[in-house]
Every structure is written in C-alpha cells, then in structure tokens.
C-alpha cells in the first residue's frame, strides 16, 4: 500500500504545484523562468552582525533552527513541552538554571516532536532547508536525530559556511534589517566600511519611541533617542526633529524604508496643541492608555508626512495582540509565539491618514494584515484606488501555502498585481531565506498556471506576472 501511494508523490521539482498535469506543466515552465532570479529581501529581521563579522559561524543546529524560532518552540509548547526544555532563555533575573543547555538534547526533543509539524509551513521550510542547504534527504526521526545533527554541525563548521558566502550563494541582491530608531547601526557601518559589497541596509522602526507613551519604558527610550540624536527633546517639536534626524541618518546608511507596528491601523490627526499635551504627559509619566492610543494613531500620520518628504517607503504591520500569554511574557519576554491576531478595520481607521496623504505624489505606504477577512473587503479596494497604497504579502501565520493561495484569490481581482509588492521573507533565520522565496515563487506560478489553464490570462501575461511577483515588484516598490 505505502509503496503505491509513493507513486503519487510528485518529483521534488514539482512540489507545491496543484491541479492536474496540464496546470503543473504550466507552473513548472513558469517557475523555471523565475527560479534563478536574484532574491530581493526588503523586509526582515536578520541580525546585521552576521555580515559585519566576515568570519561569523552559526554555533549549532539547535541555535540555527530551534532556539530563536518562535514558530518552532511555540508548537512544542502547545503540546506540553516547556520552553525551558527547548533551551529558550528566560529574562534576566529569572532562574535560568532550568533552561536546557545541551543542544543535542534540545535537538532530540525536537525530533521526537517533529510530527507536530506535519502539514505546516514550518515543517516544509525545515525539510527543504535541511535538503537544499545540508544535503539531508531522510525525514528527521528520533532515531536519526543525532546523525542528522552531526551532518549539520559539520557543514556549519566548514570555513566557507559564513553568512557572507551564503549571501552570494543564495543570490541575494539586497537585504534589509529592521532596526530601532535609536540604533547606532554599528554593524551596518562595519559592513559599509568593509571590502565586502553585499547590499545590507537598515530599516527605520521607531515603535519603541512612539508606542506605549503611557509606559515607563517609553521615557527610557526617549532618553536613548535624546542621546543618540543629540537633540534635547523637551517638547513635541524637538521630538519630531529628533525623529527626522534619525531618519536622515538611516537614509545615509542606505535605508529605503520604515516599518511601523500597531495593534490596529487606527490613525488620527491631532492638533499641535493636543499632540504637545499628550507628549508632555508622557514625559511627565502621566499619560493614560487613551493617550497612548491617540499618540500612536497620530504618529502614523506624522510618519506618513515624513515619508512623503524623505521618500522612505512606509510599512505598516497591524493586527497582532503581542505577548498574549502574560505569565510566559513575565518569565521569557517578548516574541515567544504568543502574539495572537485579532479582527481589524482599515476602512475607517486609515481614513484620516488617507484624507491627508492618500494621493501624495511621493508617499508609498505598504499595508500588511493578519486578518484575512480584510484582504478582499478592505485592502484590495483601498489599494485599487489610492495611489499611495500597496498591499504587502501574506505575513506571519499566513506566510504559508494556504496563506499565499488565499492572498492571490482575495487580493488580485480587485487590486491587480501592480498594487502589491511581491514577497517579503520577514525572517530572522537567514539560512531559511532561499526556501521561503522558493515557496512563494512556486505558489505564485501555480496560481498563474491556474489562470492560464482557465483562459483568464495568456502566456505573455503569465511570464510577465511571474517575473513581477518574484522580483520586479519588490525591487520597484522598495526603491532598491
């Protein structure tokens, strides 16, 4: 029985293609024309240190694949495996003795729970990365876990297995990191001053000096901003000046974009008096939650104004309720797989921003959503009308086969592909980048193939759209 089912599994070259043999032939032909295109990585979270240090090496398979990856450890956690057993470090001040430090043991625990990833994007990325980058062709099992560990370790230790070499090998054309507004960009400076000509650029992410004006950390962050900018931030205008100065610095360091996260896309334009009043309450430690909500909403409009002026492409990631698991957050901190999406409204929330800048000639605003019900209903009609708007690719839990298929089905009829921006890998896992882009390109070609075999598009359109979705749109949108 098993052997016969295996006959129905596709060649690796055809994986993730759907439909009958005709559609698969079309998808394969389209994919062949884009598989070798360079990678544009306009939004991600790779640590720039990887490229600043010419000799950087990854420590272990567990460090490369597991410990920093909240997609992985949250799944084992959901089935009762504590984060401690997975080697996830606790906050300072917690008793880290309980945290497993034996990376082989962590890897073994993972292998014993590998079935949890059946049919998940994490499972596909891991399998493809193990195959393509480490030559591991067997499925990971509890039995072979240590041998696979050896294979990976050996490869990691090879002198040529450095991020800079991988950058060339992966054919990355440009890669951007995500950096706090107060970051001194020292690693970026080191890269620029080195003899290496990889294009690694920062992205300006001011969330920590904008959001949470009612929290004590906000004042600490303003202190950092004061220090790094040299601007004496005493009021709203000097705060704005400091931000503008930091944007100029980021641009000088190669940045072409900003990034903003908020729980919702709520925007509002406060009067200068209102903005000043909230800002002063923030400085004095007396801002309320309502102040914080208004200030974040107002600053999104200010940031749109700045982007219109300095040309940095503005990205807006909304919809995640961060650190939903309070107990875990207290012990382990942020980004522990407990950021849960919620319902969004863009139509009403973005109106104040769009009333002011919706047709601005040089603003470009890329919207991302974690609420798929907004894609066809709100994002596509908005981006299919307002000149400044573009729709970002499926994000986070939707960076998956179904997420991408839904995206193509929900967005393209109304917005057209040219109001979208191609792919963002959005990852901190540098070594997984080719795998992620390949998945996107395969699903994009699969979608185009379905349109062609239904007579919706012709071959000429299909080739042009495959190129745009794989490469052209990301490069053009992000001004890279």
The answer to whether 222 and 276 have CB atoms below 8 angstroms apart is: no
How many CA atoms, within 13 angstroms, populate the side-chain half-sphere of residue 27? Answer: 25
**Binding of residue 323 to a copy of itself (CB under 8 A):** no
| 433-453 helix and 459-467 helix, angle to the nearest 10 degrees | 160
Among 175, 292, 444, 451, binds a copy of itself (CB under 8 A): 451
Beta strand 179-180 with 365-368: parallel, antiparallel or unpaired? unpaired
Among 453, 467, 475, 476, binds a copy of itself (CB under 8 A): 453
Instruction: Quote the tokens at residue 370.
Output: 């974690």
Among 136, 417, 429, 473, binds a copy of itself (CB under 8 A): 417
- Nearest distance in Å: CB 179, a copy of itself: 27
**Residue 14 or 47 having the CB closest to a copy of itself:** 14
- Nearest distance in Å: CB 120, a copy of itself: 5
**Contact flags string 9-28 toward a copy of itself, x per CB under 8 A:** xx-x-xxxxxxxxxx-xx--
- Nearest distance in Å: CB 64, a copy of itself: 22
**Binding of residue 381 to a copy of itself (CB under 8 A):** yes
Among 51, 386, 395, 440, binds a copy of itself (CB under 8 A): 386
**Binding of residue 351 to a copy of itself (CB under 8 A):** yes
Contacts 24+ apart (CB under 8 A), 143-152: 144/111, 145/107, 145/108, 145/110, 145/111, 145/112, 146/104, 146/107, 146/108, 148/61, 148/111, 149/61, 149/104, 149/107, 152/61, 152/64
> What is the CB neighbour count within 10 angstroms for residue 1?
5
Residues 6+ apart with CB under 8 A from 470: 34, 37, 422, 423, 437, 440, 441, 444
Tell me which stretch binds a copy of itself (CB under 8 A): 191-199, 205-213, 273-281, 354-362: 354-362
108-137 binders of a copy of itself (CB under 8 A): 115-121, 124
**Contact flags string 430-449 toward a copy of itself, x per CB under 8 A:** -------------------x
**Binding of residue 90 to a copy of itself (CB under 8 A):** no
Q: DSSP code of 336?
A: S
29-58 binders of a copy of itself (CB under 8 A): 29-30, 33
**Binding of residue 219 to a copy of itself (CB under 8 A):** no
The answer to whether 380 and 415 have CB atoms below 8 angstroms apart is: yes
**Binding of residue 378 to a copy of itself (CB under 8 A):** yes
Residue 345: closest CA among 364, 316, 373: 373
Total residue length of the chain: 480
**Residue 176 or 450 having the CB closest to a copy of itself:** 450
């Amino acid at each position: 029985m098993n052997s016969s089912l295996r006959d129905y599994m596709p060649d690796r070259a055809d994986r993730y293609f759907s439909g009958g043999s005709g559609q698969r032939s079309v998808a394969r032909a389209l994919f062949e024309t884009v598989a070798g295109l360079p990678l544009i990585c306009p939004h991600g979270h790779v640590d720039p240190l990887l490229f600043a240090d010419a000799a950087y090496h990854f420590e272990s398979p567990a460090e490369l694949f597991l410990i920093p990856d909240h997609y992985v450890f949250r799944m084992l956690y959901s089935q009762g495996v504590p984060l401690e057993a997975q080697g996830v470090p606790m906050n300072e001040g917690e008793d880290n003795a309980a945290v497993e430090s034996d990376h082989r043991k962590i890897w073994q625990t993972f292998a014993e729970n590998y079935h949890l990833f059946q049919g998940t994007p994490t499972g596909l990325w891991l399998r493809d990365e193990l195959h393509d980058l480490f030559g591991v062709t067997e499925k990971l099992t509890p039995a072979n876990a240590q041998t696979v560990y050896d294979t990976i370790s050996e490869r990691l230790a090879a002198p040529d297995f450095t991020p800079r070499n991988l950058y060339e090998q992966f054919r990355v054309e440009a890669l951007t990191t995500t950096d706090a507004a107060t970051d001194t960009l020292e690693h970026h400076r080191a890269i620029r001053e080195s003899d290496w000509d990889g294009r690694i650029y920062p992205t300006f992410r001011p969330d920590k000096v904008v959001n949470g004006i009612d929290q004590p950390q906000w004042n600490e962050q303003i202190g950092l901003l004061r220090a790094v900018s040299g601007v004496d931030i005493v009021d709203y205008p000097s705060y704005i000046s400091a931000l503008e100065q930091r944007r100029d610095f980021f641009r000088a360091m190669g940045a072409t974009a900003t990034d903003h996260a908020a729980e919702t896309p709520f925007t509002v334009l406060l009067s200068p008096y209102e903005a000043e009043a909230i800002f002063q309450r923030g400085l004095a430690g007396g801002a309320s939650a309502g102040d914080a909500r208004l200030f974040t909403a107002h600053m999104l409009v200010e940031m749109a104004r700045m982007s219109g002026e300095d040309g940095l492409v503005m990205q807006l990631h909304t919809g995640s309720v961060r650190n939903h698991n309070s107990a875990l957050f207290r012990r382990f901190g942020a980004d522990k797989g407990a950021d849960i999406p919620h319902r969004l409204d863009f139509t009403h929330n973005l109106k104040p921003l769009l009333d002011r800048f919706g047709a601005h000639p040089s603003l470009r605003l890329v919207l991302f959503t974690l609420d798929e019900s907004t894609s066809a209903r709100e994002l596509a009609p908005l981006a299919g009308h307002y000149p400044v708007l573009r729709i970002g690719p499926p994000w986070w839990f939707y960076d998956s086969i179904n997420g991408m298929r839904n995206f193509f089905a929900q967005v393209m009829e109304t917005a057209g592909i040219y109001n979208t921006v191609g792919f963002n890998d959005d990852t901190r896992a540098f070594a997984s980048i080719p795998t992620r882009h390949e998945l996107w390109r395969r699903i994009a070609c699969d979608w185009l193939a379905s349109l062609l075999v239904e007579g919706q598009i012709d071959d000429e359109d299909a080739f042009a759209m495959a190129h745009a979705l794989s490469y052209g749109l990301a490069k053009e949108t992000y001004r890279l």
